[in-house]
Amino acid sequence: MTKELLHTDSLDDVLAPEPIIPAAHDPAQPVYRGLGGFYAVERRMAWLMRVILFTAILSLGLLMAAQVFMRYVIASPFLGIEELAPMLALWIYFIGMAYCTRERDHIEGGVLTLITQNRRTVLSVRLFGTVVCLVTVLVFAWFAWDFAAYNLSLNRKSTYMRLPKYIWDFSMVSGFALMILYLTLQAFLEARALITGKGGE
């Protein structure tokens, strides 16, 4: 059905040229040349992000099961869970957002490649989009940091568990900071591919 709508015999080349991914899955490509040391550190950081995501997702699931058991089986709910669940969910959301940016797994329209297959045009538009995303994330990061700094200065604590509120706030700061890193890297790689003529084929 999709092939008939697009009037193509094959969808294999619809996404060509391929988007440049910030995470170097193939370091031998010319666009990633000279960044081996950076990517050695980045791989460790990505491993830490996966550990945080796995731990937070597992903990949130167990927490929900414990809350159901305590509330409906033994009729003794623990109100601290109402604070811990959103905290874990925030860490999952913001670290997941950064990891998605690393892998360039977010939803993209890809309409441009249906209009033109010109590598230079596609790379230029993608670079422009990356810069717009980067500026937007910088604005959000500034507000996240301002909010976290305010709570930090007041030394606010949660109602039941008496945990510092910055544990919640720094999920936003961490997520946006990592997004800034990966979007900056993506912009650099796209600009390099555009200038050198290598990458993004």
Give the rounded distance of the alpha carbon of 40 from its chain centre: 19
Residue 72 has pLDDT above 90, yes or no: no
Helix (H, G, I), strand (E, B) or coil at 117: coil
Helix (H, G, I), strand (E, B) or coil at 157: strand
Q: What is the pLDDT of residue 14?
A: 52
Give domain limits for the chain: 23-107+117-196
Tens digits of per-residue pLDDT, 158-197? 777 788 888 899 999 999 999 999 999 999 999 998 888 7
Sign of the CA dihedral 165, 167, 170, 175?
A: negative
Amino acid at 196: T
Residue 1 has pLDDT above 50, yes or no: no
Q: What is the pLDDT of residue 19?
A: 79
Predicted TM-score of the model (pTM): 0.84
Segment (H or E) for 171:
helix 166-196
Tens digits of per-residue pLDDT, 102-149? 998 877 777 777 787 788 888 888 899 999 999 999 999 999 999 999
